[in-house]
Structure 1
Amino acid sequence: MWGFITSLNDILIPHLKALFDLTYFKAMAVNSAFFGAYALVSYPAGMMVKKTGYQKGLVIGLIIASLGCVGFAMAADVHQYWVFLLALFVLASGITILQVSANPFVSHLGPEKTASSRLTLTQAFNSLGTTLAPAFGSVFILSVAVLSAEQLAALAPEQLNQYYLDQASSVKFPYYLLATVLFSLAIIFAFIKLPNLKQDEETSIADNDSVFKHRHLVLGVLAIFMYVGGEVAIGSLLVNFFKEPNIAGMTEKVGAAYVTYYWGGAMIGRFIGAYLMLKVAANKVLTFNALMVIVLIVIAIVADGKLAMWSILGVGFFNSIMFPTIFSLAIHKLGALSSRGSGFLCVAIVGGALIPPLQGIVADTIGIQLSFIVPIFCYVYIAYYGFKGYKPKES
């Protein structure tokens, strides 16, 4: 569900960009509102989960996310961009609590040496949601054609009112549906029996110990920042990239369907990666994948047509294992500090709020194709983390 909701932003961005006649920079405020919640909510969520336990954290996160979906659907009637952004922030706050609860829970369900494989496997089901969401959004959210400012000015008051009603209904149904599913899951997780791992982490923490003393965690926080920022920036601009005449010249609705391949590649890659990392060291797989992403982005920048399009879509496959791998490497050997470390790692997801607007500015300035140089810098750092930065070493 959180993969589905996160990926749906890739459809909302071109939809709201056209609806409110936004620049790329302003349209990226969708990501700023959504991923900004990670910066503000993650650490408090980590402290809350430390007290309530993982299971109650999951229930609370699902309820808040459900309320955010309801708010987003209701925002359609107001037709104000900032109201949409506020509802997305509430929705993302719930998703943040889910992340803080679920990721360390999965990591501690088995041996430390297979934590990367285990977390990658569960993230593969996250990718199932991200794969289905673009197709879902293209059918429901992009089903009503968005008119330009000139076309809107030419409409009679009755026609304009009907147009806004049609646009509102295009987001109401999917988000009310998501709210229902999330709330149903909250009820299920309130009663299902899960292993109680809270006590396992309640070991004493040395007075002089701190998450900031663990170098591999600190570098991992930056790696998560770079990864989420790079992945979200690319995914957010795919539909508009495919619209470019020298790339594919697709309509928004057709382009949205192709975003499925980006996230579908991530899903396939995670299932493969979950098995591969039982045989190969996780950091080596991370380094290789980061280097492959750099190559594919460079091709997307210098090439045209189908080659550029499929190269950027191929990034999804190699992105697949990065988040769970970085996460598990970063909390390795943290022991009782794992919950706090998880909170800081989830704060780093704010990269999804800061890097996409940066690429938006570059796209507004020199064009959308050249703007993909921004995520290249992100993946260069990730390659470094997989090569050297992951090693546990107290600073």
Structure 2
Amino acid sequence: MLWRRKITIDDQAITDGSGITLKQSLFPNFLVTILFFLWGFAYGLLDVLNSHFQAELNISASMASGLSAAYFGAYFICPLTVSGWILRRYGFRVTFMTGLAVLAIGCLLFWPSGVKASFGGFCGSMFVVGAGLSTLETGADNFLSICGPPRYSEIRLNLAQGVQGAGSFVAPLLASRVFFANTVDTQQGLKNVQWVYLGIACFVALLIILFWLAPMPEVTDADMGLQEQDISQGDVAPFSKQYNLFLGVWSQFCYVGAQVAVANYFINFAEEAGYSASMSSNLLAVGQGLYTIMRFVSSGLMTLGVKPRYILAVYLALCFIFGVAATTTHGATSVAMLILVLSSESACFATIFTLALRGLGHHTKRGGSLLVAAISGGAAIPPMTGAVATNTGSFHRAMAIPTAFYVLAWVFPVYANTVSKGFLDGHRETDLNVEAKIPPSLPPSLSSANKISTPSQIIQNRYIHQHPKPCPSQSKT
């Protein structure tokens, strides 16, 4: 299918979105997956910058967590306000271009921050970067979850998150070998930060042009409402009763906060265990590499038929077990256990997101915005961890904080494997949109091949058949 290039879309319009088959979804999903590498790289670089600023600017671990607080604080503000509004008002394309533009501005702000060697300036720059990335993620996580057959939702997002993990793996590796090689504790290191983010800004500018020109489908809340009727054969519950979503948001908040805390202080943890700064950065790259590999492994397991709710429950439990082991051991053993924590985190975010988004129908974009906002856990839990490390002088003891939050995050997989398992399994077992089909509810007069040739026509004919009022127009421009 070749979609018309629409710039904006009415969220109440019926579009091609809910009829996109597996084959038709490949190109747009590939295009959006490019964005995952971009913010994976930015996130991976953040972990190294955190340790670097402690050494160069002579600040404590709790103060260094301000960098993460600024970055993830934007996740709390933007998806619930401007980012979510842009997505619902104008559609995915405008959301992507807006996020990229804000990200480019944030990257450029690193230049004056580096010139002044201002930690406050770096925090402000990182907030703008977080605002851009949170806007991108508000669109991209939702898009990959709903663009294509519903049964492959978890697989699509886990694969894209694997690409994001590749960015997180490359960033600390380049940081230790290129950006900060022999300059970890010198002024030159700050200059390298400036050039790195200038390069990212240029790359982002090219992506804005790409998303302006590329043909992409739009999936509206109206599309998702019709799709949910096909799957569940009933009306969607009011938003206030979407308990599966709310528990997913809580779990996402706790999990992401714990994940960020572990990654932020991994280098400090490894140095405390006896490794050099350069070796600690390499070990973080190893952990991020395993994290990436396990995301692809998880996608493979789901493709083979393992239910995502099982994978989420097991992986979160392993995070807790290995976290306890890392906290209570010393030396190389403790670092190995913390690497296994990173590895076990692999499938958690994407699986929480897609399971919590199941069955929302016309509430989908609103629910997705809440799940992205839950990433702001990365602004709350790392400062707690940094405060414990500063007050006790031990990063090993501080790791007990994220370990405890893995337990709190486990509430959602427990609910998913008990109360809502039938509901979730029903959405995964449907064959809707795996291949192009004529909806069985259409009358014979509408099922002629001469009259129906695109998913858009199928959806609109079904809408007209089910609703006596005229179908809304497809787009605003």
1:312 corresponds in structure 2 to 338
Query: What is the distance in 1 between the residues matched to 2:178 and 2:112?
Result: 16
1:11 corresponds in structure 2 to 48
Does structure 2 retain, via aligned residues, the 8 Å contact 1:32–1:352? yes
1:272 corresponds in structure 2 to 297
| 2:386 maps to which of 338, 360, 381 | 360
What are the equivalent positions in structure 2 for 1:343-382 lying under 5 Å apart? 343-366=369-392, 367-382=394-409
1:361 to partner: Cα distance: 0.9
1:62 corresponds in structure 2 to 100
1:289 corresponds in structure 2 to 315
Structure 2: runs of 5+ lacking an equivalent: 1-37, 229-234, 424-477
| Structure 1 runs (4+) greater than 6 angstroms displaced | none
1:95 corresponds in structure 2 to 133
| TM-score w.r.t. length of structure 1 | 0.90
Report the more deviating stretch, 348-357 or 130-139: 130-139
1:144 to partner: Cα distance: 4.9
Query: What is the distance in 1 between the residues matched to 2:173 and 2:240?
Result: 42
1:199 to partner: Cα distance: 6.7
Query: What is the distance in 2 between the residues matched to 1:200 and 1:210?
Result: 15
Larger of the two Rg values belongs to structure: 2
Report the more deviating stretch, 251-260 or 21-30: 251-260
What is the CA deviation profile of residues 196-243 of structure 1, one whole-angstrom value per residue up to 9, with x for unaligned ones?
A: 2237547599x9965332111111111110111000000001111111
1:154 corresponds in structure 2 to none
Q: Secondary structure at the match of 1:143?
A: coil
User: Structure 1 residues 113 and 47, CA, compared in 2 at 3 Å: closer, same or farther?
Assistant: same
Does structure 2 retain, via aligned residues, the 8 Å contact 1:226–1:379? yes
Matched, 1:331 2:369: no
1:250 corresponds in structure 2 to 275
User: Structure 1 residues 46 and 210, CA, compared in 2 at 3 Å: closer, same or farther?
Assistant: farther
1:74 to partner: Cα distance: 2.6
| TM-score w.r.t. length of structure 2 | 0.75
Q: Secondary structure at the match of 1:169?
A: helix
Query: What is the distance in 1 between the residues matched to 2:78 and 2:317?
Result: 32
1:189 corresponds in structure 2 to 211
Does structure 2 retain, via aligned residues, the 8 Å contact 1:66–1:180? yes
Q: Secondary structure at the match of 1:369?
A: helix
Query: What is the distance in 1 between the residues matched to 2:64 and 2:179?
Result: 16
Q: From the two aligned structures, give the one with the greater helix fraction.
A: 1
Question: Would you say how many aligned residue pairs link Structure 1 and Structure 2?
Answer: 375
Does structure 2 retain, via aligned residues, the 8 Å contact 1:5–1:130? yes
User: Structure 1 residues 343 and 176, CA, compared in 2 at 3 Å: closer, same or farther?
Assistant: same
1:268 to partner: Cα distance: 0.5
C-alpha RMSD of the superposition: 2.2
What is the CA deviation profile of residues 157-201 of structure 1, one whole-angstrom value per residue up to 9, with x for unaligned ones?
A: xxxxxx64x243121111111111111111111111122223754
1:126 to partner: Cα distance: 0.8
Query: What is the distance in 2 between the residues matched to 1:286 and 1:199?
Result: 27
Does structure 2 retain, via aligned residues, the 8 Å contact 1:144–1:170? no
Query: What is the distance in 1 between the residues matched to 2:221 and 2:246?
Result: 26
What is the CA deviation profile of residues 263-293 of structure 1, one whole-angstrom value per residue up to 9, with x for unaligned ones?
A: 1111111111112123111111111111111
Does structure 1 retain, via aligned residues, the 8 Å contact 2:68–2:382? yes
| 1:218 maps to which of 246, 252, 265 | 246
| 2:74 maps to which of 34, 37, 41 | 37
Code of the aligned partner of 1:243: E
What is the CA deviation profile of residues 230-258 of structure 1, one whole-angstrom value per residue up to 9, with x for unaligned ones?
A: 000000011111111xx2x2222221122
Does structure 2 retain, via aligned residues, the 8 Å contact 1:211–1:217? no
What is the CA deviation profile of residues 81-129 of structure 1, one whole-angstrom value per residue up to 9, with x for unaligned ones?
A: 1111111001111100111001111111223232111111111111110
Does structure 2 retain, via aligned residues, the 8 Å contact 1:212–1:218? no
Query: What is the distance in 2 between the residues matched to 1:309 and 1:301?
Result: 10
Q: Secondary structure at the match of 2:59?
A: coil
Query: What is the distance in 1 between the residues matched to 2:313 and 2:383?
Result: 26
Code of the aligned partner of 1:291: A
1:134 to partner: Cα distance: 0.5
Q: Secondary structure at the match of 2:80?
A: helix
What are the equivalent positions in structure 2 for 1:230-245 lying under 5 Å apart? 230-244=258-272
Code of the aligned partner of 2:239: V
Structure 1: runs of 5+ lacking an equivalent: 148-162
Code of the aligned partner of 1:219: L
1:146 to partner: Cα distance: 5.4
Q: Secondary structure at the match of 2:263?
A: helix
Report the more deviating stretch, 343-352 or 113-122: 113-122
Report the more deviating stretch, 260-269 or 224-233: 260-269
Matched, 1:139 2:177: yes
User: Structure 1 residues 258 and 347, CA, compared in 2 at 3 Å: closer, same or farther?
Assistant: same
